[in-house]
């Protein structure tokens, strides 16, 4: 059999890069735990209608990027392209919202979108998503922005700031759409990209999200169409952000790529690099899907883009410094030593040390190969003579020192030496 290559747009993730993913996950999960967020796990595939109804039929994901298939009973399913719609279904079907109380959830999951693979953009990718549900108002929005800041700082990300926009209520958005259509009108429609020609007819607001750099007209300012409610909100949020030192600026073109956003939308800027993180408020989504009025806000982080960014722009990041060696490796050259080694291993792992040993008898002449492969801090050598005299040879492989330790004191000695 000829072994086939991995599918286009996918990746194999293995050490040391997989260990960077693991470190990111561990750091972020601890931050989320301290902020009272809890993990959810939803299916890899869902009914197609979940995304067509929640994301909007002209959204790029629905329009051309979903992996769609039928099961044996002709039900149309898709591999999940994003996490918010799945979160809405999970929350509603399991009745997780309690009246008057916020619900704080997160997921770490792989997503699937059929698009042209390129740097930082794959057909299967990993995403961390955070959702704050049943939580209206400016303080909920600030809490989410502060959580973003805490996560980025926890990961050692430097020199970032927020791009913010406020889409307002339905009336404000409709006024903006009307003004935008008047500016574009028939004169400029032929000059739009193919996607924006569709958007012009269905949701002109998403023309602002066009990937083309130079639109053939000047965009109206969202700020000038804000009503009093919008102005008061922006003023209050601005005051809070300034008071607590979160770096931000307003970008009145920012709308994000999904149709369900309302109110605040945001992205994180890292010196002009591709967006690693973005999100916003979606107060109407639960109601539009027929399951109550639960105002919500959330964001997602692309893990591949985050790791790529660290490798290219922060190569000195602590996240990239992977120590994949073991703390102590037992080189067993006599079968009688295994009973001692297994007992020592059990005790040492209780101290959170990484312990390993050879599974077949190896002679001391293989010592250099063992050190090269396992990169142990300590190498513990157990042969027939060592067991007889009850003195165990331990090598410090980093400092090139040797010690003879009494057999009954091996565990105590290793713990004291390494911890």
Answer whether 362's CB lies under 8 Å from 370's CB: yes
Task: Give yes or no: residues 371 and 351 share one domain.
Answer: yes
Task: Give yes or no: residues 237 and 151 share one domain.
Answer: yes
Which residue, of 319, 347, 376, is where some domain finishes?
319
CA distances from 39 to 28, 103, 137, 153, 223 (A): 12, 11, 24, 21, 37
Rounded distance between C-alpha atoms, residue 142 and residue 302, angstroms: 21
Question: Where on the phi/psi map is residue 129: left (φ > 0), alpha (ψ -120 to 50), or beta?
Answer: beta
Which residue, of 293, 319, 345, is where some domain finishes?
319
Task: Give yes or no: residues 95 and 143 share one domain.
Answer: yes
| Alpha-carbon radius of gyration of the chain | 28
Give the pLDDT confidence of 26-52 residue by residue, as tens digits: 999 999 999 999 999 999 999 999 988
Peptide bond into 307 cis (omega under 30): no
Answer whether 307's CB lies under 8 Å from 24's CB: yes
Task: Give yes or no: residues 43 and 136 share one domain.
Answer: yes
Task: Give yes or no: residues 238 and 143 share one domain.
Answer: yes
Task: Give yes or no: residues 162 and 46 share one domain.
Answer: yes
Rounded distance between C-alpha atoms, residue 36 and residue 329, angstroms: 39
Contacts of 408 (CB under 8 A, 6+ apart): 390
199 within domain boundaries: no
DSSP string, 138-188: HHHHHHHHHHHHHHHHHTT--S-EEEEEE--SHHHHHHHHHHHHHHHHHHH
Give the pLDDT confidence of 358-404 residue by residue, as tens digits: 999 877 677 888 888 999 999 999 987 777 888 999 999 989 999 99
Q: Tokens representing 150?
A: 């805490």
Distance, CA of 317 to chain centre: 17
Task: Give yes or no: residues 285 and 355 share one domain.
Answer: no
Phi–psi pair at 2, nearest 5 degrees:
-90, 120
Task: Give yes or no: residues 33 and 72 share one domain.
Answer: yes
This prediction has a pTM of 0.88
What percentage of residues in the chain have a pLDDT greater than 90? Answer: 61
- Region 17-28: mean pLDDT is 96
User: Does residue 390 or residue 57 have the better pLDDT?
Assistant: 390
Q: Tokens representing 267?
A: 């992205």
Strands 391-396 and 378-382: antiparallel
- CATH number, residue 405: 3.40.50.800
Q: Tokens representing 308?
A: 């790529």
214 within domain boundaries: no
Whether residue 150 has pLDDT greater than 70: yes
Contacts of 302 (CB under 8 A, 6+ apart): 120, 125, 126, 127, 275, 276, 277
Query: How confident is the model at residue 57, as a pLDDT?
Result: 56
Residue 37 CB coordination number (10 Å) = 19
Q: What is the domain range of residue 271?
A: 17-168+226-319
209 within domain boundaries: no
Q: Count of domains in the chain?
A: 2
Span of 45-49, 101-105, 183-187 with lowest mean pLDDT: 183-187
205 within domain boundaries: no
185 within domain boundaries: no
Strands 45-47 and 76-79: antiparallel
Task: Give yes or no: residues 241 and 283 share one domain.
Answer: yes
7 within domain boundaries: no
What percentage of residues in the chain have a pLDDT greater than 70? Answer: 92
Distance, CA of 322 to chain centre: 19
Mean pLDDT of the chain: 88
Task: Give yes or no: residues 310 and 336 share one domain.
Answer: no
Whether residue 10 has pLDDT greater than 60: yes
33 within domain boundaries: yes
- CATH number, residue 149: 3.30.930.10
198 within domain boundaries: no
Task: Give yes or no: residues 127 and 234 share one domain.
Answer: yes
Query: How confident is the model at residue 354, as a pLDDT?
Result: 94
User: Does residue 256 or residue 1 have the better pLDDT?
Assistant: 1
Whether residue 257 has pLDDT greater than 70: no
Query: How confident is the model at residue 111, as a pLDDT?
Result: 95
Query: How confident is the model at residue 215, as a pLDDT?
Result: 66
Question: Which residue from 302, 306, 259, 284 is spatially nearest to 156, judged by alpha carbons?
Answer: 306
Task: Give yes or no: residues 238 and 109 share one domain.
Answer: yes
Which residue, of 284, 319, 354, is where some domain finishes?
319
């Amino acid at each position: 059999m000829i072994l086939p290559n991995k599918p286009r747009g996918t990746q194999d993730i293995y050490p040391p890069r997989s260990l960077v993913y693991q470190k990111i996950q561990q750091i972020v999960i601890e931050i989320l735990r301290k902020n009272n967020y809890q993990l959810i796990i939803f299916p890899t595939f869902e009914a197609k209608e979940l995304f067509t109804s929640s994301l909007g039929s002209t959204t790029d994901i629905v329009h051309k990027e979903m992996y769609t298939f039928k099961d044996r009973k002709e039900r149309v399913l898709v591999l999940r392209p994003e996490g918010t719609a799945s979160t809405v279904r999970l929350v509603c079907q399991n009745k997780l919202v309690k009246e008057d109380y916020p619900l704080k959830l997160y997921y770490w999951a792989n997503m699937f979108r059929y698009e042209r693979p390129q740097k930082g953009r794959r057909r299967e990718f990993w995403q961390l998503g955070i959702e704050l549900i049943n939580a209206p108002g400016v303080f909920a929005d600030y809490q989410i922005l502060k959580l973003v800041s805490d996560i980025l700082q926890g990961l050692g990300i430097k020199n970032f700031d927020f791009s913010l926009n406020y889409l307002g209520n339905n009336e404000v958005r409709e006024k903006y759409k009307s003004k935008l259509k008047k500016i574009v009108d028939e004169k400029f429609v032929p000059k739009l990209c193919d996607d924006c020609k569709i958007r012009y007819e269905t949701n002109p607001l998403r023309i602002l999200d066009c990937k083309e750099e130079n639109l053939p007209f000047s965009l109206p300012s969202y700020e000038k169409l804000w009503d009093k409610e919008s102005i008061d909100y922006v003023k209050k949020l601005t005051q809070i952000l300034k008071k607590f030192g979160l770096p931000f600026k307003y970008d009145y073109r920012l709308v994000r790529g999904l149709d369900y956003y309302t109110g605040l939308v945001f992205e994180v800027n890292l010196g002009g690099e591709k967006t690693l993180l973005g999100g916003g408020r979606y107060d109407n989504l639960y109601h539009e899907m027929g399951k109550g009025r639960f105002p919500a806000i959330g964001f997602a982080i692309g893990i591949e883009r985050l790791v790529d960014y660290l490798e290219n722009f922060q190569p000195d990041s602590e996240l990239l410094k992977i120590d994949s060696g073991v703390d102590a490796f037992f080189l067993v050259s006599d079968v009688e030593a295994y009973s001692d080694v297994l007992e020592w291993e059990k005790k040492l792992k209780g101290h959170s040390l990484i312990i390993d040993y050879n599974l077949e008898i190896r002679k001391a002449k293989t010592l250099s190969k063992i050190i090269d492969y396992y990169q142990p801090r300590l190498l513990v050598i157990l042969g027939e003579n060592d067991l007889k005299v009850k003195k165990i040879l331990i090598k410090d492989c980093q400092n090139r020192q040797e010690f003879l330790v009494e057999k009954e004191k091996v565990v105590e000695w290793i713990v004291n030496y390494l911890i």
